[in-house]
Structures are given as C-alpha cells and as structure tokens.
Amino acid sequence: MDIKNLQDAMKLQQDLNAKLNQRIDALRKDKAPSLDVLLKEKEKSIERLRADMELAKQERDVAVNRWDQRIEKRKAAVSALESELADLKKQVSGRKITDKTETDKKGGRKKKPK
C-alpha cells in the first residue's frame, strides 16, 4: 500500500491493529485461527502485495521514462553543439583561405631576394 497522507497511514494502522487483536484473542482462547480465516488473510495479503508490486512497476516505469527523456535532451544538445562546432570550423577555414588570397592579391607578401 502506498501511503500518501495521514489518512492512509491511519487506515493501515487500524487494519493492522484489528488483525493483531484477532490473533491475540485467538491465542488467549488457546486455539489457532481457523483455516478459513487463515485462507482469507493469505488471500488479502496476496492481493495487497500484488497491488504493491503493480505500484512499484508503475513507479519504475515513470522513473525510466524520466531518465530516457533526460538522455534524449542531452543527445539533442550534443547534436546541436556538434553542428554548431562544424559550422564554426567551416567559417574559420573559409576565413583562412580568404585571408590568404587577399594578402596575395594585395601584394602583402614579399618575396625574399635571393
């Protein structure tokens, strides 16, 4: 059982107290609970555990989905940064080529006399 508030905790405590009182009364009378009572208790326990198991599965799925979303966001950010880096490298290499051709045209480079 997932306890989300005080009322859930109080209900669980009352249920457990009722079961404890039943067992104590049975022990005081020196007789064990009947098989029918034991079967019903076991069935309720199984139902409660199955519900807890399903809740745990749902919580796990939510957590996994959250992590998957974080990973996808990071992948998208990495892809965007990689494309920006590639564009910047192209711009830098284009400028170097442009700078070299402009200096050659202007005569900025002088040949050394031999």
Rounded-to-integer distance, Cα 96 and Cα 102, Å: 10
Largest CA distance in the chain: 122
> Which residues are within 8 A (CB) of 8 and not within 5 positions of it... i.e. 6 or more apart?
1, 2
Rounded-to-integer distance, Cα 60 and Cα 54, Å: 10
- For the chain, 114 residues long, give each residue's pLDDT as a single digit of tens: 677 788 888 888 888 898 888 888 777 776 666 788 889 989 999 999 999 999 999 999 999 999 999 999 999 999 999 999 999 999 888 887 666 666 666 655 555 555
Contact 33, 22 (CB under 8 A): yes
Domain assignments of the chain as residue spans, ordered by start: 7-91
Q: Model-level pTM greater than 0.85? A: no
